[in-house]
Amino acid sequence: MQNPRLAAPGIVLGTIMLVASVCSAAAYAQGAAESGWPTSQWPTSTPEERGMDSAALAKLVEFGKSRSFDSLLIVRHGRIVLDAYYAPYAADIPHITNSTTKAVIGTLMAIASKDGLLDSTDRRMLDFFADRSIANVDERKKAVTVQNLLDMTSGLDWEEPLSGRPVSMIAMERSPDWIKFILDRQMSSAPGDIFNYNSGNPHLLSAILTGLTGLSASDYAKVRLFGPLGINTWNWRRDPQGISTGGYGLALLPRDMAKIGYLYLRHGEWEGKPLVPPGWVEKTRHATVNMNSSRAPTLRYSNLFWALPDRKVYMAVGYHCQVIMIFPELDIVAVTTARDFCPFGKMADDISGAVKSETALPPDPAGTSLLAAVIREISTEKPSEVGATPEIASSISGKTYKFLSSALNVRSLSLTLTGPNPRYELEMNSRDPTRPPLKFTGPIGLDGLFRKSDPTVFGVAATKGSWLDGQTFVMERRMLGADAPLQKWTLRFDGGTLNLRGNDRAGLEVSIVGEPAD
């Protein structure tokens, strides 16, 4: 267990005095007092009771189907008005938030400054890594500050475009020491000059947090963020040295993602106590760093949050629409988790457009019924067709097939397709060849419906299968709470061998042959 000290030796402690608007703080506090704090449980309301239109929200839920949403949640005036989960995903499954993790790291840095552990965001990055031998040090690298890391303006050479292959991130993942990999990068520009998306920046911040607090970011969050907010369920990846991944890798429940948004909506306060300095929230809300996006030229960045100033929205954003949207003027927090991209501008407009009043609207029975029907429809899994079970099911059940080809990373597969408890056992090669293979097991639905595995660090696997003919079985597997695509394999049992056909990571169809293990 790591040292639970909250201050590491050699760190000069200080405070950052930031001024907030008294009127705004009072308004936020009044809104929270009226609704209660959702520490133990979110209060709920009909949309109309909070001035929103149920029929408009029903259209938003329908839109989520076209973008492979897993969840959609909206809070207004402190109460949940929409809480939808798309089958087979469910509310009690943590969802990998991808780069929304960055915003949590930024929030922890804010708390560290409030705790007196970080004296200034103008501190030089290299001050925190004085014990390391670092390559390519020049005057530009010496000038990189904590604020540059928070704003993605460090100037470190890094290739991770918002719409393209994250070359540098992949190389970091393959390196034995992520911090060394990031610190050793050459400089491509002077710090502060250019925005360049870089998951290495927040990972350095995670390491800095550990140096400041003596705790991993996950453990510090448990004490100073997740604990106060009543967040009890999460998973957080670590790098080879045990540092919580700063750029991605945190999994949270959607309702707990909303709590983080609500903390910012309430100007950094929780249960009447300041957690995040209000000045930090204001700077984040009024982001000024130009993200230089050709598709969305108004996008701005600050403190590891994105902002759409023209829509008066700022947000924590993760790949494939893992998003926490904050609408300060409308008193709204919206959360999406998904397996596809979504248009932020349209989402913001549709959510804002559902607001019809600052006070309660008259009841709308038709709209309420429509919204309930749409939520019921998306949360109910529809069975797919299944074929008749052939005689071969008995002879191949329980048999383990070994695969020599690594094209699909499948090492071995065993299926039990008869009896009351159909299931699979799967062994896959790790992406890191020095690590042992990954083992998965779980039930298979043979009635056209997914069956869910027990929770794992990778999420919950939902699996089903069907027979196409007397020798061909189709197995479909999804990791719930991850944005990974559906894994669909066609298995043909022929002459004692198993031919497995599926798509590799590049989306290309690949066939591999398995032989019986005995």
* Residue boundaries of the structural domains of the chain: 36-93+253-380, 100-252, 392-516
Architecture of domain 392-516: Beta Barrel (2.40)
Report the alpha-carbon distance of residue 327 to residue 338 in Å, rounded.
20
- Mean pLDDT across the chain, nearest whole number? 92
| pLDDT at residue 101, rounded to an integer | 98
Local confidence band at 28 (pLDDT 50, 70, 90 cut-offs): very low
Long-range contacts of 481-485 (CB under 8 A, 24+ apart): 481/70, 481/89, 481/93, 481/94, 481/95, 481/96, 481/251, 481/337, 482/95, 482/96, 482/458, 483/96, 483/98, 483/319, 483/320, 483/322, 483/337, 483/338, 483/339, 484/339, 485/339
User: What would the mean pLDDT of 210-231 be, rounded to a whole number?
Assistant: 98
Fold of 100-252: Beta-lactamase (3.40.710)
Whether 100-252 and 36-93+253-380 are alike in CATH topology: the answer is yes
Per-residue pLDDT, averaged over 198-216, amounts to 98
Report pLDDT for 7. Answer: 29
Residue 308 has pLDDT above 70, yes or no: yes
Residue 438 gets the label, from left (phi > 0), alpha (psi -120 to 50) or beta, of beta
Mean pLDDT confidence for 91-111: 97
What pLDDT is stored for residue 27 in this prediction? 44
372 pLDDT higher than 80: yes
CA-based nearest residue to 81, from 368, 422, 428, 394: 368
Q: What are 270-302's pLDDT values in tens digits?
A: 999 999 999 999 999 999 999 999 989 999 999
Using DSSP's 3-state secondary structure scheme, residue 277 falls into coil
Among candidates 243, 279, 8, 3, which has minimal Cα distance to 121?
279
Give residue 24's pLDDT.
40
Work out the percent of the chain whose per-residue pLDDT is above 70: 93
Q: What is the mean pLDDT of residues 465-475?
A: 97
User: Does the pLDDT at position 8 exceed 60?
Assistant: no
Q: What does the pLDDT read at residue 34? A: 58
Average pLDDT (18-41) is: 56
pLDDT-derived band at 457 (thresholds 50, 70, 90) equals confident
Judge contact between 91 and 85, C-beta under 8 A: yes
Q: What is the CATH number of domain 36-93+253-380?
A: 3.40.710.10
CA-to-CA distance for 246 and 202, rounded, in angstroms?
5
**Which amino acid is present at 219?**
D
Give the predicted TM-score (pTM) of the model: 0.91
For range 380-405, the mean pLDDT: 94
Q: What is the pLDDT of residue 35?
A: 67
CA angle 101, 176, 235 (to 5 degrees): 30
How do residues 336-354 score in pLDDT, each as one tens digit? 999 999 999 999 999 999 9
Query: Per-residue pLDDT for 19 more than 60?
Result: no
Tell me: pLDDT of 405 over 70: yes
Higher pLDDT, 123 or 406: 123
